[in-house]
Amino acid sequence: MKVCVVGSGGREHALAAVLGRHHEVVVTPGSPGIPGSVGTPPEQIDADLFVIGPEAPLVDGLADRLRAAGRLVFGPGADGARLEGSKAWMKEVLVEAGVPTAAHGTFTDLDPALAFLATMAPPFVVKTDGLAAGKGVVVTDSLDEARAAVGDYLSGEAFGDAGRTVVIEEGLTGPELSILAVCDGTRAVALAPAQDFKRVGDGDAGPNTGGMGAYSPVPVAGDDVVEMVMRDAVEPTLAALRARGIDYRGVLYAGLMLTPAGPKVLEYNVRFGDPETQVVLPRMTSDLGALLAAAAAGAIEEAPTFDDGAAVTVVCAAEGYPRQVRSGDAIEGLDEARALEGVSVFCAGVGAGADGRLVTAGGRVLAVTGQAATIAEARARAYEGVARLSWPGLHHRTDIAAGQ
Ligand code: AMP
Ligand code: GLY
């Protein structure tokens, strides 16, 4: 089968690598760091299956346009992608489906928003309704900071129109978990669970990012937890979507918190997680392309299988990330890192320098995945790979999967 992956980040590199075990793969637009990248837009590519990586083209209806042209597409239409495109709508669907989630209020005006905030207890949680590249969430113990975020969001100053509606939530506590379910419109199968590290600094210090590292499997999330999440969250959500006439074929990624009162959904994403994909997919032992094609055709027959080992990925970021980043620095040590046993390096924000070598071109530059029998060994391998890499201002967390 010829598979076309749409996107250009570390997630798409991992998708292409794992799809490439069984299929021919092209990636658009891809990047100088992703083999098989082509400049041709997806609409002009002839492929048996299209897999759309990022949320923005999904929210923008790329899956609908490709399907209208008779293509087999893995990824929801704009109707289903609204789950990620609007947190306010997502909360409405969750409440309707009876899925456990944080109590919340949705606001477009400052005074009622601040009045609601004043009734909440810390930690205060303020989110943009619209897409903000994983950065539109403030979790803080400071009421002043939360009030300031509400003001900056609603005025449009912080995130433009994405912030003109805000969701204010009850603060939850507990370990976080990402469950990625592959859906065919009616049925859903879970991939191996992963845990993501959202904050930029060690010990969860600093601002939220798109994700600084991840590992899989997750010891606190046994089969019982995965089954509970599928039964109490994913399946009712798919049914609620169907009841609204939405035929959801793609990944439904549940971002969960394992609270003392049980798992609660923090958010849904409508695509593979980044960097969760860089640990979940390398562990897959069944044919990813066959699964995604079956889901795209509305007929999943078999659940995927995963190895008994572990994978840990560490994101190497450019100076300044998640704020203003510096780009154009030569990436050193890529070949040395890749030569290590059990180490894969996935390219995210990379470009081609004048001499043809890869240079930094984005916030999250590389994701270094280690695989081994245990999480501790996989972690050691990932960090051995990271130690080979350098560019001015490279930073990464040192505590990904520590103590697991
Ligand atoms: P989201 O993009 O909605 O997943 O939020 C990003 C991150 O903010 C999550 O991974 C959590 O670490 C944190 N977060 C979001 N919602 C809550 C909440 N209701 N309570 C506590 N932390 C939260
Ligand atoms: N790792 C978080 C996300 O993909 O949204």
Residue 58: which CATH number? Answer: 3.40.50.20
The domain boundary residue, chosen from 170, 199, 224:
170
Residues 182 and 158 in one domain: no
Whole-angstrom distance, CA of residue 153 vs CA of residue 159: 6
Structure confidence at residue 384 (pLDDT): 98
Residues 165 and 182 in one domain: no
Q: Is residue 267 in contact with ligand 1, taking CB distance under 6 Å?
A: yes
Q: Which residues make Cβ contacts (< 8 Å) with residue 245, sequence separation at least 6?
A: 79
Is 334 part of any domain?
A: yes
Residues 132 and 187 in one domain: no
Residue 9: pLDDT band with limits 50, 70, 90: very high
The domain boundary residue, chosen from 155, 170, 185:
170
Is 398 part of any domain?
A: no
CATH of the domain at 195: 3.30.470.20
Please say if the pLDDT value at position 207 is more than 90: no
Taking the whole predicted model, whether its pTM rises above 0.85 is answered as yes
Is 96 part of any domain?
A: no
Structure confidence at residue 134 (pLDDT): 67
Residues 195 and 115 in one domain: no
Whole-angstrom distance, CA of residue 57 vs CA of residue 6: 9
How many residues are given for the chain?
A: 404
Is 302 part of any domain?
A: no
Residue 177: enclosing H or E segment and its boundaries? Answer: strand 176-184
Q: What is the mean pLDDT of residues 379-394?
A: 98
Residue 91: pLDDT band with limits 50, 70, 90: very high
Could you tell me the distance, in angstroms and rounded to a whole number, from the CA of residue 348 to the centre of ligand 2? 13
The domain boundary residue, chosen from 265, 296, 327:
296
Minimum mean pLDDT range among 140-154, 179-193, 379-393: 140-154
Q: What is the mean pLDDT of residues 245-256?
A: 97
Residue 158: pLDDT band with limits 50, 70, 90: confident
Residues 34 and 114 in one domain: no
Q: What domain range is 320 assigned to?
A: 310-387
Is 397 part of any domain?
A: no
Apex 275 CA angle, 359 and 279, nearest 5: 115
Pocket test for ligand 1, best of 137, 204, 276 (most atoms within 8 A of CB): 137
CATH of the domain at 136: 3.30.1490.20
Whole-angstrom distance, CA of residue 41 vs CA of residue 69: 14
Is 90 part of any domain?
A: no
Q: Do the Cβ atoms of 24 and 1 come closer than 8 Å?
A: yes
Could you tell me the distance, in angstroms and rounded to a whole number, from the CA of residue 196 to the centre of ligand 1? 12
Residues 186 and 287 in one domain: yes
Is 284 part of any domain?
A: yes
Could you tell me the distance, in angstroms and rounded to a whole number, from the CA of residue 198 to the centre of ligand 1? 9
Total structural domains within the chain: 4
Q: Which residues make Cβ contacts (< 8 Å) with residue 68, sequence separation at least 6?
A: none
Tens digit of pLDDT for each residue in 317-371?
A: 999 999 999 999 999 999 999 999 999 999 999 999 988 899 999 999 999 999 9
Q: What is the mean pLDDT of residues 63-90?
A: 96
Q: Is residue 178 in contact with ligand 1, taking CB distance under 6 Å?
A: no
Pocket test for ligand 2, best of 131, 177, 274, 400 (most atoms within 8 A of CB): 274
Ligand (nearest to CA of 198): 1
